[in-house]
Chain A
Amino acid sequence: MTAPILTVSNLAVSVHGEDGEREVVSDLSFALQKGETLCIAGESGSGKSMTALAIMGLLPQPGARVSAGSIRLGDTDLATLSENRMRTIRGDRIAMIFQEPMTSLNPVLSIGRQLTEAIEAHTPLSREEARRRAVEALKAVRIPEAESRLKQFPHELSGGMRQRVMIAMALALKPDVLICDEPTTALDVTVQGEVLELLRDLQREQGTSIILITHDMGVVAEMADRVIVMRHGRMVEEGFTSAIFAIPREDYTRELLAAVPRIGGGRAGQLAPSPALRFARATSPQRGKEIGEAGAALDIKHGLGANGGKPPLPGGERVAEPRLDRGSVGAEGHDPSVRDPGGSGGRVRGPTTEPAVAAIHDLTVRFDLTGGFFGRVDRRVHAVEGVGFTIGQNETLSLVGESGCGKSTTAKAIAGLVPYAGKIEIGGRDLASLGRAERMAIRRDVQMVFQDPYASLDPRMRVGELVEEPLVIHGIGDRKERRDRVAALFERVGLSADQMERYPHEFSGGQRQRICIARALALRPKLIIADESVSALDVSVQARVLRLLKDLQREFGVAYLFISHDMAVVENISDRVAVMYLGQIVEMGTRDQIFASPRHPYTKRLIEAVPIPDPSRRRARFARLDKEIPSAVRRVGDEPPKTLLRDFGEGHLVSEFGL
């Protein structure tokens, strides 16, 4: 074996905080060989990004510093190098690409300017030669029409394009080591595949060594030669990728791998119900939709208003006897996907005794764009175009698609956050036909859990107040009853009641998302819209939150509209799945229909593009989009063609467009 390019030995990084120095990376040693891809995997707070920044000499100043150990690039120790010397190495011999292609390019400088600047800074090349080198670099990352791209600005390029420009910039000087910090996390799966493939090809051509930092075990399996698993700033395990995946030595690695949602794992995998609910599951093979549960759910829903006492929150034990309340007939124990074969697709449902929780017909959301001298509306963003579906009681419907496909806008329209055209029925009643007060009452039935638990809780309110707030707004219970119910909710989502007095910033991401869930549950809604609710969480936390959602569904009989870009998560949680593309549904069916026999090419591509956390199934070529996704912005009067959904049997609807 030849001498390694980069040797890190006993590295420690300390951050100076309020309570003195704290080590965020401790005693880390590894060596990087030429042409090798080393993955550093770990969850947030594991110190993986700090390691990368330490190697680059870019630790946040003041505060963080390399407190021990050495980082040797060839014969030079980077840890002791002055900033001036470091600058000549950075970009030239070690380059880095960051997670956010949106923010790591300067928005006011053209692509060409930024590329040539980097080249000129490190080489004696003339401007003209630097330009030629820049064009070569852009061609190398397969950017079409490289020449003309030089004049473009970052905002004129898509996310994937921007990340490719970043890679071009990093590789233009042919560095020995390329550090990629979560290079594909912010990208859509189909684009992610392309970028990963590009990195792999470039590495083969140029012999660059890559340090890939990621939380995504799928990416690790796809890319890495060797893996380092980190946790709390320490190396947990190191080894060859195949070995780590096949026989992980440490418990933590096993947990991490177990928590990764897998396509093909189905819901029988890691989302097995918690022990308390095993019984319920055993007695109800049909997805837990037994009479008792529906009854219990109804009982809970009206419990507080009716008896005014302690809110009945069954933690495992359930009311066996169905209770018919407020005229709504208890679920007859049938499967909604069978009961409701049409699913929708803009069709009018036949008369049923029990209305679906939500029925969406021909939902359309457009945003006006003004332009020209007089600021007239000349273009529109066709965010959602004629989407229709129904969600039955106790059912989970997932909306999947890539960024910009309109899935979040659909959610917002149903939650009443954006104006829409079309028909939204909640509990069989059309929202548009209701008065203000009634609409407010119906709103209680639809609650939302947002993507970012850091942004969706008011940081200036105590979490107890936040969970109590919906009850206050809707005038439910007196102060004591409300506090009791909030305490019960806290316990139910796995927090303790004495945490109610704290503020959101005192909790971790997963805990905050639990608070958001408790808040959404406070009003006993019939439908919870989960908009990318687990995307911002670490995989192990993600698995637990998903399981909590599942448990709560069995317990409270709530339906979910689950919005996600992550196909593996969707497969784990959904009853039915709808795939969206450019504001329209292109395919909809049960989970098995979509994942086992996808019919629309777009669905197939989406599923294929997901990296599989199994190095033995590594792909040579990723599924690729033949062209960039067209824009949803259209001139006024230029209506997009409406796709028709054809039924392929048993409610499997597929768009004829693009088949």
Chain B
Amino acid sequence: MTVPIAPDLATPAVMPARPRAGIWRRLLRRKLAVLGLVIIVLTVAGAILAPWLTAYDPNEQMFDGLTLEGAPLPPSEKFWLGTDLLGRDLATRILYGARTSLIIGIVANGAALLIGTLVGMTAGYFKGWIGSVLMRFTDLMMAFPALLLAICLAAILQPSLWIVALVIALVNWVQTARVIYTETSSLAEREFIDAERTIGAGTGRILFRHILPHLLPTIIVWGTLGISTTVLLEATLSYLGIGVQPPTASWGNIIFENQTYFQAAPWLVFFPGMAILALALAFNLVGDALRDVLDPTQRGRA
């Protein structure tokens, strides 16, 4: 008896073949992602072009920056976002502060993400003693009060923006490592990884070509979440006097300097707070869209 020629081939696959749509093109098709990108670009541009965008010096305490009683000024035509406790222009400080916060939020956070991913992936894939050593070390770091560690490190090394970034990176990688470890160890058990081994794929290829792409969604989520936490951690360190040294502005330390007066002068906390929120949200939106765009199984879906 004969079976007719392969009707399972005749069933059309879910989607018609189409040319590779560029990641950019697909990203730009999403409105929210574009909004996020615009915010990020504006922030970066504002940070770089700060001296040309504002007429004031960020650290100048202006005569007319305070009321006669010595209270900060609310937003007005002269000072768009008002002035702070020392009579400095808040808008100017936020613009300059973006430099610090972007470095922390992107460089420090990025470094933390990188360390966390590498440690988590290595431990999760190799297991055995390598995995044990790495993960026990991660647990140790988790149990250790991050702030205390940061204080020690910052105290030993001279406080500066880059040291702060380094400290934040060294403190913040642990959560990422934990999550990536769990995901990698479950991915390593998947059958397609065994299939890779049977065709002779080496460790590097398996880790970076086959496991890493599956970790991207997690990495993106942790990366975007990390932006707001690292910006705030920088503020905490600055507040303790071991972060960015005053009078250098950062969004975090603007909030911390002024938080006790937030009832009398709410704009002092509100505007820098909004700046952090907007940046974190922007990265979140872009990250979300990127995750979908990079996932081939989502192709062609709404």
| Given A448-B195, A450-B191, A460-B213: A255 and B297 interface contact (C-beta under 8 Å) | no
Beta-carbon contact of B190 and A455 below 8 Å: yes
What is the minimal beta-carbon distance from B180 to any residue of chain A, in angstroms? Answer: 16
Beta-carbon contact of A503 and B299 below 8 Å: yes
Query: What are the 3 A-B residue pairs with the smallest beta carbon separation, nearest first?
Result: A455-B191, A470-B199, A510-B8
Query: Which of A54-62, A439-447, A590-598, A641-649 forms part of the interface with chain B?
Result: A439-447
B70 within 8 A of A: no
Interface residues on B, range: 35 or more
Beta-carbon contact of A544 and B6 below 8 Å: yes
Query: Which of A195-203, A221-229, A493-501 forms part of the interface with chain B?
Result: A493-501
Beta-carbon contact of B202 and A473 below 8 Å: yes
Beta-carbon contact of A456 and B199 below 8 Å: no
Chain A contacts for B198, CB-based, 8 A? 415-417, 443, 446-448
A459 within 8 A of B: yes
A502 within 8 A of B: yes
- Distance between Cα atoms of A469 and B9 in the complex (Å): 23
| Given A269-B1, A470-B200, A473-B201: A503 and B194 interface contact (C-beta under 8 Å) | no
B18-33: CB near A (< 8 Å → 1, else 0) gives 0010000000000000
A465-499: CB near B (< 8 Å → 1, else 0) gives 00001100110000000000000000000110011
Beta-carbon contact of A543 and B194 below 8 Å: no
A317 within 8 A of B: no
Q: Which of A381-419 contact B (CB under 8 A)?
A: 412, 415-417
What is the minimal beta-carbon distance from A267 to any residue of chain B, in angstroms? Answer: 13
* Cβ-defined partner of A494 (8 Å) among B4, B9, B196, B197: B9
Q: Which of B174-211 contact A (CB under 8 A)?
A: 190-192, 194-202, 205, 209-210
27 pairs across A/B with beta carbons < 8 Å?
Answer: A18-B301, A270-B2, A270-B3, A416-B197, A440-B200, A444-B200, A447-B199, A450-B194, A455-B192, A456-B194, A456-B195, A457-B192, A457-B195, A459-B192, A459-B297, A460-B210, A503-B296, A503-B297, A505-B296, A505-B297, A508-B11, A508-B13, A519-B195, A522-B199, A540-B3, A541-B8, A544-B8
B264 within 8 A of A: no
B68 within 8 A of A: no
Interface size on A, residues (CB 8 A): 54
B148 within 8 A of A: no
Chain B contacts for A501, CB-based, 8 A? 17, 20
What is the minimal beta-carbon distance from B230 to any residue of chain A, in angstroms? Answer: 29
Beta-carbon contact of A544 and B301 below 8 Å: no
Chain A contacts for B297, CB-based, 8 A? 459-460, 503, 505
A523 within 8 A of B: yes
Binding site for B on A (CB under 8 A): 18, 255, 258-259, 269-270, 272, 412, 415-417, 440, 443-444, 446-448, 450-452, 455-462, 469-470, 473-474, 494-495, 498-499, 501-503, 505-508, 510-511, 516, 519, 522-523, 540-541, 543-544, 547
Q: Which of B6-55 contact A (CB under 8 A)?
A: 6-9, 11, 13-15, 17, 20
Chain B contacts for A508, CB-based, 8 A? 8, 11, 13
Beta-carbon contact of B13 and A506 below 8 Å: yes
- Distance between Cα atoms of A505 and B301 in the complex (Å): 13
Beta-carbon contact of B191 and A452 below 8 Å: yes
- Distance between Cα atoms of A501 and B18 in the complex (Å): 8
B127 within 8 A of A: no
B291 within 8 A of A: no
Among B20, B190, B191, B202, which residue has the most Cβ atoms of chain A within 10 A?
A: B191
* Cβ-defined partner of A519 (8 Å) among B197, B199, B299: B199
- Distance between Cα atoms of A508 and B3 in the complex (Å): 19
Beta-carbon contact of B210 and A458 below 8 Å: yes
- Distance between Cα atoms of A543 and B8 in the complex (Å): 11
What is the minimal beta-carbon distance from B298 to any residue of chain A, in angstroms? Answer: 10
What is the minimal beta-carbon distance from A653 to any residue of chain B, in angstroms? Answer: 29
| Given A459-B297, A473-B205, A544-B6: A502 and B214 interface contact (C-beta under 8 Å) | no
Beta-carbon contact of A458 and B17 below 8 Å: no
| Given A494-B9, A503-B296, A519-B199: A259 and B192 interface contact (C-beta under 8 Å) | no
| Given A450-B194, A494-B9, A506-B15: A258 and B1 interface contact (C-beta under 8 Å) | yes
What is the minimal beta-carbon distance from A500 to any residue of chain B, in angstroms? Answer: 9
B295 within 8 A of A: yes
